Amino acid sequence: MRGCRVGLVGAGGVAQRHARVLAGFDDVELVGVTDVAPEAASALVAQHGGRACADVAELLAAGPDAVYVCVPPFAHGPAEEAVIDAGVPMFVEKPVAVDLVTAERIADLIARRGLRTAVGHHWRYLSVLDQARELLGDRPVRMVSGSWLDKVPPVAWWSRRDRSGGPVVEQAAHVLDLMRALVGEVTEVTAYGNGTPPPVDGADIDSVTTATLRFAGGAVGTLSAACVLGWKHRAGLEILADRLALSISEDGLLIRDADGERHVPADPEAARVAVDRAFIDAVRGVGDDVRVPYAEALGTQRLALAVADSARTGETVRLTTPVGPTVLATGVTVDA
Ligand SMILES: NC(=O)c1ccc[n+]([C@@H]2O[C@H](COP(=O)([O-])OP(=O)(O)OC[C@H]3O[C@@H](n4cnc5c(N)ncnc54)[C@H](O)[C@@H]3O)[C@@H](O)[C@H]2O)c1
């Protein structure tokens, strides 16, 4: 296959990152960018090439081999449908939607079309993950604590529940996705939000949320998400197994076991590059290392929404494992 011609839907922060990473690949050409804010698309093509397109239809008419959908959570749906309809491989930024109905509809369309997809859960490409798995070996995970303790990001839609889904869906989804990868599926969630939004105009999200999780494999865990700080304090996982403690973040792996304590650094940027490299290689037919296709991200979306639902309703949420992405049932039940 010749070089991969890529189109972008959305030209904001994360699209700029993908454009920069893709510009570093000598087998990728940016053919077009579309954004509901045309000036954002123009600025991106001025920097990285391609054409500013009026809409997704014009972008698809340029004949891309792959399209990245980099819109905020509330805006997912129409772009994906158009890309699937055109049969073009698609990379979707997380979270894949603000709700489950949209995500399940898109997953179903993808499955019917047999389309190649990837989702931006780049933590699955952290270089220390294999080492964490090796150290765990066949020791069962007993406990996991995940956290994302941060500020409110500087994008207007973030602090509105109907726009972002809230901090758990929008941000801590990376942590939940890594928990699924290392500890397995969650079967039950009970969560609490503090009911107090962060001090940002129009905010209606909880500024702190905490959840308890029960895993199918017997582990128990917690998730804490906060946006009350003025800085990013911590984002990552602590995993406890018999005589082993692992602490994993984008910066590396801290190991404590019978041999003492040691730190293995990881380069966060390397994982961000690897997620794009794996998708492009898969589209070009020269690689097969997409770790989170859309159907897999749907599992993380279900879990994140279960935490958010439980925090909102005060009820325990039980998750059932769906039989596949074509199943349109929510896979979520709320205790009466
Ligand atoms: N994987 C990661 O590490 C990572 C990092 C940052 C952001 N993200 C995710 O990427 C998504 C976007 O975040 P961002 O920081 O780029 O936001 P942003 O607000 O900076 O950019 C979003 C862009 O999308 C455009 N847009 C909105 N609706 C659109 C539509 N219907 N069609 C085309 N364009 C549309 C906006 O005009 C804006 O330019 C979020 O879901 C966020 O969680 C992921």
Tell me what the mean pLDDT of segment 185-195 comes to. 98
For residue 92, the SS3 value is: strand
Q: Give residue 15 CA to ligand 1 midpoint distance, Å.
A: 7
Tell me what the mean pLDDT of segment 83-98 comes to. 98
pLDDT at 326: 38
Mean of pLDDT over the chain: 95
Nearest to 195 by CA among 185, 209, 181: 209
Q: Give residue 167 CA to ligand 1 midpoint distance, Å.
A: 15
Residue among 8, 35, 92, 171 to mutate when testing ligand 1 (max atoms within 8 A of CB):
35
Q: Give residue 123 CA to ligand 1 midpoint distance, Å.
A: 18
Tens-place pLDDT, residues 151-162: 999 999 999 999
Reported confidence tier of residue 3, pLDDT bands at 50, 70, 90: confident
State yes or no: pLDDT of 330 exceeds 60. Answer: no
Q: Let me know: does 223 contact 146? Beta carbons within 8 Å.
A: yes
User: Can you tell me the distance from the alpha carbon of 273 to that of 137, in angstroms, rounded to the nearest whole number?
Assistant: 28
Reported confidence tier of residue 262, pLDDT bands at 50, 70, 90: very high
Q: Kindly state the percentage of the chain with pLDDT values over 70.
A: 95
pTM metric for this prediction? 0.95
Q: Is 260 left (phi over 0), alpha (psi -120 to 50) or beta?
A: left
Asked whether the bond before 293 is cis by omega within 30 degrees of 0, the reply is no
State yes or no: pLDDT of 27 exceeds 60. Answer: yes
Nearest to 314 by CA among 192, 205, 216: 192
Q: Let me know: does 215 contact 186? Beta carbons within 8 Å.
A: yes
Cα distance from N-terminal residue to C-terminal residue, the chain: 55
With a 6 A CB cut-off, is 43 part of the ligand 1 pocket? no
Nearest to 218 by CA among 186, 244, 181, 177: 186
Side-chain half-sphere CA neighbours of 300 within 13 A: 33
pLDDT at 322: 58
User: Can you tell me the distance from the alpha carbon of 294 to that of 101, in angstroms, rounded to the nearest whole number?
Assistant: 14
With a 6 A CB cut-off, is 9 part of the ligand 1 pocket? yes
